[in-house]
Amino acid sequence: MEPLDSESIAIVNGSLIIVVDQDGQIQKTISTATAIDEIMFAKPYLYTLDLVQEVSIKECKLLQAVNSTLYLDTDEGISNTQLVSWKDLVDRSTKEGKFEEALGLLESVGFTQDQSSDNNQEFQEFRLKILQLYSISLVDADEIDDAIDVFIELETNPAKVIALFPENISGRLYIPQENWSSIFGDFAKLYKGTIDNNEIINSTSMSSLRSGSDTASLKSIKVSRNSKIEALLRYLTDRRQKVKGAIHQHPSESFINVKLTDYTKEQLLELPSRSADTLNVDQLAVLAGVVDTALFKAYIETRPALVGSLCRLENYCQPEEVEQSLLDRKKFDELVSLYKSKNMHEKALDLLKGLTLDEEEGKDIDSSVSYIQQLGSEYIDLILQKSRWMFDIDKQTAIQVADDERVESLPKLRVAEYLNSFDIGLGLQYLRYAIKELNDQDPSLHNYFADTLLQAVLRNRKTEEFQTIYDAYLDFLRSSHQYAPKARLKAIPIDDLYHARAILVDRLGKYEDALRIYVKNLNDFDSATRYCVKVEKEDKEIFSKLLKFYLKGDKSTSPGSQSSYFKATAISPSYSTMSDEGDNMNEIISLLCNFPTKFDIQQVLQSLPGDVPLQELQRFILRNYKATSSNQRWGSVVSNIRKSENERLAMKLVDLESRYVVIDDNRM
């Protein structure tokens, strides 16, 4: 009988150990292979004692132990017997695979050791090695939870732990069961020195069992495959938290793009087994990849529904090691998220494309469009390369990769050129969006928009859409001030698109040439008049020039008298035949009557043909006279007001100058 604690005792009955509480209730029964001579409790272990060595003596007067020799003084004389040392017991227990027994022996020795002795470090190394082998034996015996506890306590290199599990989890780290012991080195290296000189007289083999009051009893039932992986998940989650904490101590370092394929299997297994806080940056990066990759594989096997959330978190998983498992289980969204977290955008877009084109999956292009919208301008080459196929399926949905508020940072000219290369309509749609909605004032973009519009106008010259496109072209030329008019003008055919030519000539400041186009080429009185109103501030004589065009024609239209502008641009203007003077008389009279103050009446009367009825000019003359008289009266009023104000100010000045102030000491 052996008391275990204040509430329970252990009773030996042959090969059976019975643990009862203070009320006599049986708490646990443990059977052994052979009959037990004696038991001993040394927290947290319960030891069974077997006979190892027996010395037969009849009568002993003196017993003395010196080093490893026992001296006996008997009636027959002095004899000696060699004792079994702790080292031999540990060695024998280890070779027999009784790692718990070996650990118990080491613990017993450890309690008596002088912790400051030189042997302490060697003792700790012995214990570490035996614990490692013990953990392997637990895995072999399917005691996974107990093994994980040991691995966590020892800060074991995760690559070594993962290598003990099936290949679908461990991948290239996998080591067959017969080679497990090789992971932790040759145990024979432990026995280069001795642990202690302490020895025992009656050496015993100790087959220890953990007490139920402190730790879980050893399991004897095989656990399921998923239970093993669940235990591994507990280990990996613990390691992940420790590694992540250590990584956060290096905020300036980048760990996300570390490739485990750059390291051999042996290099991974040789990572140090110590706290993550003590590892350097390179070791942390590799360790993070090992842990997260195995964690992903374990989740895929046991908790596939949670893989998506793991993919969306910051992680260091190696996609190439888990992608096939995800594909086999049709975890496409999860794989896309994983690719995205690793900046493997090309692979993600290829996967989305394959799913869209796969009739069985029947995925639309919205997911591909949404993915591209989340990429920045630094991926412009990839965006343009991987979005082309979408336009063949749904143009208006695919255009959202460019004309959405989430992609405003893309280089707009590059996008416009790309769209225009296969669909000018999409190119124009994007340019309109960039310039009108986003108010982009980049001159190169405006130049390109003008050129693209002109290209569309010329392509549709004989279609029903021509006028709509041409009106859009003219509206842009009028509204934008960012394009280069001279270069745009050179692109226009010399015998066509006169409205566009007039706008561009006006932008160059050639007001008379622009007016000539309205009058001579377009024969458009209303447009010519509106143009005069528009540019009168820049050219005070513009109305007089218009009248001259109508009265006498333009002698400069001959090839030898072209305007300086047309000579400079080397473009020969082609003018249509203008109506003769008589046919223009209605426009002349209308111009004079609508804008009477813009002309000098004397010069008008001298310029008009002598056969113009005075009655036709009556309205012009009266309006001109009234306007002139009104201007004169208003000028007189303004002049008198100014004169009065000048006089008032002069009187005030005289009054101020007549004042004086005496400054004496009191005013200082």
Tens of pLDDT, residue by residue over 313-359, are 888 889 998 999 999 999 999 999 999 988 899 999 999 999 998 87
Identify whether 595 is part of a domain.
yes
Say if residue 492 is in the same domain as residue 448: yes
Distance CA 243, CA 295 (A): 13
- Sequence length of the chain is 668
Identify whether 486 is part of a domain.
yes
Residue 293 confidence (pLDDT) above 60: yes
Identify whether 603 is part of a domain.
yes
Element (H, E) at 338: helix 332-341
More confident residue, 86 or 142: 142
Say if residue 491 is in the same domain as residue 441: yes
Distance CA 73, CA 357 (A): 97
Distance CA 318, CA 342 (A): 9
Q: pLDDT tens, 428-464?
A: 999 999 999 999 999 999 999 999 999 999 999 889 9
Helix axis angle, 332-341 to 319-328, nearest 10° = 170
Which residues 6+ apart lie within 8 Å of 530 measured at CB? none
Distance CA 173, CA 291 (A): 12
Identify whether 280 is part of a domain.
no
Bridge partners of 29, per DSSP, are 18
Residue with tokens 């001259």: 548
Q: Which of 203-207, 579-583, 587-591 has the highest mean pLDDT?
A: 587-591
Say if residue 615 is in the same domain as residue 519: yes
Kindly state the average pLDDT of the residues 247-266: 79
Of 127-141, 226-240, 572-586, the range with the lowest mean pLDDT is 572-586
**Domain extent for 542:** 509-553+582-633
Identify whether 234 is part of a domain.
no
What's the confidence (pLDDT) of residue 408? 85
Residue that finishes a domain, picked among 472, 504, 536: 504
Which residues 6+ apart lie within 8 Å of 251 measured at CB? none
Helix axis angle, 443-459 to 412-420, nearest 10° = 20
Average pLDDT, the chain: 78
Q: Phi then psi for 255, rounded to 5 degrees?
A: -115, -10
What would the two tokens of residue 299 be? 């989740």
Kindly state the average pLDDT of the residues 136-152: 84
Identify whether 433 is part of a domain.
yes
What's the confidence (pLDDT) of residue 128? 78
Say if residue 513 is in the same domain as residue 499: no
Say if residue 468 is in the same domain as residue 548: no
Identify whether 658 is part of a domain.
no
Say if residue 431 is in the same domain as residue 479: yes
What's the confidence (pLDDT) of residue 65? 61
- In one-letter notation, the amino acid at residue 446 is H
Kindly state the average pLDDT of the residues 549-560: 55
559: left (phi over 0), alpha (psi -120 to 50) or beta: alpha
Say if residue 416 is in the same domain as residue 496: yes
Say if residue 434 is in the same domain as residue 545: no
Say if residue 416 is in the same domain as residue 473: yes
Say if residue 629 is in the same domain as residue 513: yes
Residue that finishes a domain, picked among 478, 504, 530: 504
Kindly state the average pLDDT of the residues 9-28: 77
Say if residue 519 is in the same domain as residue 587: yes
Identify whether 609 is part of a domain.
yes
Radius of gyration of the chain from Cα atoms? 51
The domain total for the chain is: 2
Distance CA 665, CA 668 (A): 5
Say if residue 499 is in the same domain as residue 518: no
Q: Following DSSP, what letter does each residue of 396-457 receive, concatenated?
A: HHHGGGTSSGGGTTS-HHHHHHHHHTT-HHHHHHHHHIIIIIS----HHHHHHHHHHHHHHH
